[in-house]
Amino acid sequence: MACAAMVILFSFLLLGCDGASDPPSSSTVKHEKIAEVHVRKLLNLAAAVPAAAAPVDDRKTAAAPVECSEEFVAVSQAEASRWLGGMPSYSVTITNTCASCAVSDVHVSCGEFWSAKLVDPTSFRRVTAGDCLVSGGGAMQPGESVSFDYSNMYPYDLDVTSVSCSCG
């Protein structure tokens, strides 16, 4: 019973006691605008339907070309086994995730990359401060990965900064 009384009291506080009709709240206006925009989006999508229903041959020529992007290359890193003297070791895998493009000249931001454990420079090497090169700049085919381990007290943030693509 007390809960029902609190709900009624709260409702009166929300509605106000004067009974006058207030102008629509900003949230009501916002919802009406969102609904209007949503309807407009639906109307705009209707114009795109004929292109989607085009014959298959037309769709192939109308498709946008694949643009080369750093997003085609994924870098994963995980702590591996401990190395000499208790220094952590990290396993890195750099993968070309594009299904139809070879990537080359893959550059990775790598800070002052250094490893207590030798990293094969044909897989990964520091070119300048903050810039490392993957596979000596050579091509990585679709789905191909380059893996290496390094040892340092802390992992490096490794992010792809640039790539060149050959899409066929």
Neighbours of 151 (CB within 10 A): 20
Measured between alpha carbons, how far is 125 from 153 in angstroms, rounded to an integer?
Answer: 19
Taking the alpha carbons at both ends of the chain, their separation in whole angstroms is: 73
Catalogue all structural domains in the chain, each as residue range(s) with its CATH number: 70-167 (2.60.40)
| 108-112 long-range contacts, CB within 8 A, separation 24+ | 108/75, 108/132, 108/133, 108/134, 108/158, 108/159, 108/160, 108/161, 109/157, 109/158, 109/159, 109/161, 110/156, 110/158, 111/156, 111/157
- Tens digit of pLDDT for each residue in 84-106? 678 899 999 999 999 999 999 99
> Which one, of 168, 146, 150, lies nearest residue 160 by Cα?
146
- Tens digit of pLDDT for each residue in 123-162? 999 999 999 999 999 999 999 999 999 999 999 999 999 9
| Encoded tokens for 60 | 């192939």
Measured between alpha carbons, how far is 75 from 133 in angstroms, rounded to an integer?
Answer: 13
Question: For the chain, how many residues are written?
Answer: 168
- Tens digit of pLDDT for each residue in 11-69? 544 444 444 444 454 444 444 444 444 434 334 444 444 444 445 454 444 444 457 78
| pTM score over 0.85 | no
Which is more confident, 123 or 167? 123
pLDDT of 112 over the 60 cut: yes
pLDDT at 81: 75
